[in-house]
Every structure is written in structure tokens, then in C-alpha cells.
Amino acid sequence: MVAAIGAKNGVTVMAEDLEIDLDDLERRMDGALNALKGEFASLRTGRASAAMVDPVQVEAYGTHMPLNQCATINVPESRMLTVNVWDKGLIGAVEKALRTSGLGINPVVEGTLMRLPIPELNEERRRELTKVAGQYAEGARVAIRNVRRDGMDQIKKASAEGMSEDEQKLYHDEIQELTDNAINRVDEALTTKQEEIMQV
């Protein structure tokens, strides 16, 4: 069976049951980028964002659950978050989770509502956060390169099973292009995040 498995840049890639799933490789690279965006969202920039508290886990009902599963999180102003706890019995657990989260936020409790004032970041803390952002980005680059290596291994295997050199080259070029695009998107996201952190 000969199947056309995609046309890119005017070149149709054909394979006899020796398909490399480029869509799967691209999906996995996108996954690394999405994970990076989630990590970036949790970095405090001096501006309030509901995503800042996404990593916070609350000990509730005998288990650990994300804060957003036991409270409503709002951003009423640029330097303030509010957390409205649904169950009065969880107020202490939510307050403790926020204080020990490492976000440097001290909640002000008013009944079931907690106000989280976002303190100004000093220059030193901003520089530390840009380094952390850089580490997150490097982790994403490594994940993308691992997906690339997996794709190249699939080409080697298909080559041993009889894939032509032309097909190998086409796949190699496609995978390299996917990798370059994903790495560029990581670099762009990092630059944007670092500018946001350093903005006073």
C-alpha cells in the first residue's frame, strides 16, 4: 500500500507502510510549549494574575486539590487578587496553602474572602525571576529536542525497513523544521516574559 502522508512546500511525502507521524511529533512539541506557558504564568511579575496561584495545592477533604477547585479567584485591580473560598471550613487550609506557597503573598482574611495584595518586586528579585524563566525555557528546549531525537530514531528504523533515502531526507527536513519553529516560539515566549518581569 502506498499512501500520501502530507504535502508541504509542494513536496508530497509517500511511504509504503513506513509512516513517520509528524502530527504526533508536532503535538508533543506544542505540549512542551504549553507546559512552558503554564510555568511562566506562575512567575510573579508584580502584576496580579489568576494564573499565579495555579500551582497552589490546598489540603482539603483528606486530599490535596488545586486552589481553583475550592475557591473563586478574581483580579479586581492590577496589584490585587481575591480568593473567595466556597466552604467556610477550608479558610484556614487555603490561608496556610497561600502562605507556604513560596509566592511571597500574605493573604488578608475577611470572612470567606481573602485579599492577596501583590507587593512590588525589587530589582534583585526581578533578575532572579528572569533566571528562573530562562531555566523553564531551557527545560522546554530539552523536551523539544527529545521529541526531535525520537523522530530521527523513527527515520533510522524506517530506513532499516527499506525507506528510500529521498523519503528519509524529506522526513528529516520536516522534523528539523518543526524543531526550529518550536525552539523559536520558546525563545520568543522567554523574551516576552523576561521583558514583562523587568518592566517596572
CB of 63 closer than 8 Å to CB of 182: no
Residue ranges per structural domain of the chain: 20-40+123-198, 50-117
Show the beta-strand stretches assigned E in 45-85.
Answer: 57-60, 63-66, 71-77, 80-85
- Domain 50-117's class? alpha beta
Radius of gyration of the chain (CA): 23
Interatomic CA distance for residues 103 and 96, integer angstroms? 12
DSSP assigned state of 90: G
- Which CATH number is 20-40+123-198's, of 3.30.450.40, 3.40.50.2300, 3.90.1010.10, 1.10.132.20? 1.10.132.20
Per-residue tens of pLDDT for the chain, all 200 residues: 334 444 444 444 444 456 889 999 999 999 999 999 888 877 766 677 777 787 788 888 888 888 888 889 888 887 888 899 898 888 889 888 888 876 777 888 888 888 888 777 778 878 888 888 899 999 999 999 999 999 999 999 998 888 888 999 999 999 999 999 999 999 999 999 998 888 76
3-state secondary structure of 144: helix
